[in-house]
């Protein structure tokens, strides 16, 4: 059903060429295929939304991002493409040159030498077996100190600490299907 006068697109209100005002089905509604597709998509949006809300209420909806999550390689590829696009456009700035980064990088490290290298390797997903003997020994001594400090606390403090550890682990855990 045409809303605007003949010769005017119902979506963008732009002109339709005079020779194309009518089709064999009646007056032409839209000036282009893009306007027709957009109008059809908008007309069906409420129906799609209601169906999606119904699936959520029934518990049948699954987050598409969790069905096929990007791998580390895919994320790295996307980041690399974005960075290269910014470089080509002249918008990219080295994050290490920002004022906040300079302040952070000028602070002394929390751990020195072997322990620092061990922490960095473990952060990258390596195991303690991958560390050199000196790094492994520094890491073991650090963990012993941590354990001793934890047991020197009151029972309430220890419980609070383990609750926090549990909350952090729960946040990192992937949702169960």
DSSP codes, 92-123: ---GGGSHHHHHHHHSPPSS-HHHHHHHHHHH
Asked whether residue 55 is assigned to any structural domain, the reply reads yes
Same domain, 117 and 176: yes
pLDDT band at 47 (very low <50, low <70, confident <90, very high): very high
Q: Which tokens belong to 82?
A: 């974005």
Q: pLDDT for 125-149, tens place per residue?
A: 899 999 999 999 999 999 999 889 8
Q: Which tokens belong to 68?
A: 């096929």
Asked whether residue 98 is assigned to any structural domain, the reply reads no
* Positive or negative torsion for Cα 119, 121, 127, 133: negative
Final residue of a domain: which of 45, 61, 77?
Answer: 61
Residue the block writes with tokens 């000028």: 106
**Backbone angle region of 66, left / alpha / beta, with phi > 0 → left and psi within -120 to 50 → alpha:** alpha
- What pLDDT, on a 0 to 100 scale, did the predictor assign at position 110? 83
Q: Please state, in angstroms and as integers, the Cα–Cα distance from residue 113 to each residue in 47, 51, 109, 136, 167, following that order.
A: 61, 58, 10, 12, 31
Q: Find residue 97's DSSP bridge partners.
A: none
Asked whether residue 76 is assigned to any structural domain, the reply reads no
Asked whether residue 140 is assigned to any structural domain, the reply reads yes
Asked whether residue 121 is assigned to any structural domain, the reply reads yes
Q: Which tokens belong to 164?
A: 């926090």
- What pLDDT, on a 0 to 100 scale, did the predictor assign at position 176? 65
Final residue of a domain: which of 20, 45, 61?
Answer: 61
Give the pTM: 0.37
d(CA 65, CA 75): 13
Tell me how many domains the chain contains. 2
If you average pLDDT over every residue of the chain, what do you get?
A: 89
- The neighbour count for residue 172, using CB atoms within 10 Å, is 7
- What pLDDT, on a 0 to 100 scale, did the predictor assign at position 61? 87
pLDDT at 177 over 80: no
- What pLDDT, on a 0 to 100 scale, did the predictor assign at position 150? 83
Asked whether residue 118 is assigned to any structural domain, the reply reads yes
Q: pLDDT for 104-125, tens place per residue?
A: 888 888 888 899 999 989 988 8
Question: Residue 117 sits in which domain range?
Answer: 112-177
Asked whether residue 159 is assigned to any structural domain, the reply reads yes
Rounded to 5 degrees, φ, ψ at 26 are 135, -160
Asked whether residue 42 is assigned to any structural domain, the reply reads yes
Which contacts of 157-161 are long-range, i.e. CB under 8 A and separated by 24 or more positions?
A: none
pLDDT band at 164 (very low <50, low <70, confident <90, very high): very high
Q: pLDDT for 60-103, tens place per residue?
A: 988 888 888 888 899 999 999 999 999 999 998 888 888 888 88
């Amino acid at each position: 059903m045409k809303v605007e006068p003949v010769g005017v697109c119902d979506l963008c209100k732009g002109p339709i060429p005079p020779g194309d005002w009518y089709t064999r089905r009646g007056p032409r509604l839209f000036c282009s295929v893009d306007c027709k597709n957009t109008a059809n998509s908008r007309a069906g949006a409420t129906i799609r939304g209601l169906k999606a809300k119904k699936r959520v209420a029934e518990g049948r909806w699954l987050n598409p991002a969790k069905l096929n999550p990007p791998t580390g390689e895919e994320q790295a590829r996307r980041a690399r493409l974005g960075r290269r696009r910014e470089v080509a456009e002249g918008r990219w700035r080295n994050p290490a040159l920002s004022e906040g980064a300079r302040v952070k990088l000028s602070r002394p490290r929390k751990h020195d030498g072997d322990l620092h290298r061990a922490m960095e390797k473990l952060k990258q997903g390596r195991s303690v077996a991958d560390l050199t003997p000196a790094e492994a020994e520094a890491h073991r001594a650090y963990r012993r100190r941590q354990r001793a400090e934890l047991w020197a606390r009151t029972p309430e403090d220890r419980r609070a600490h383990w609750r926090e550890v549990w909350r952090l682990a729960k946040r990192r855990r992937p949702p169960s299907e």
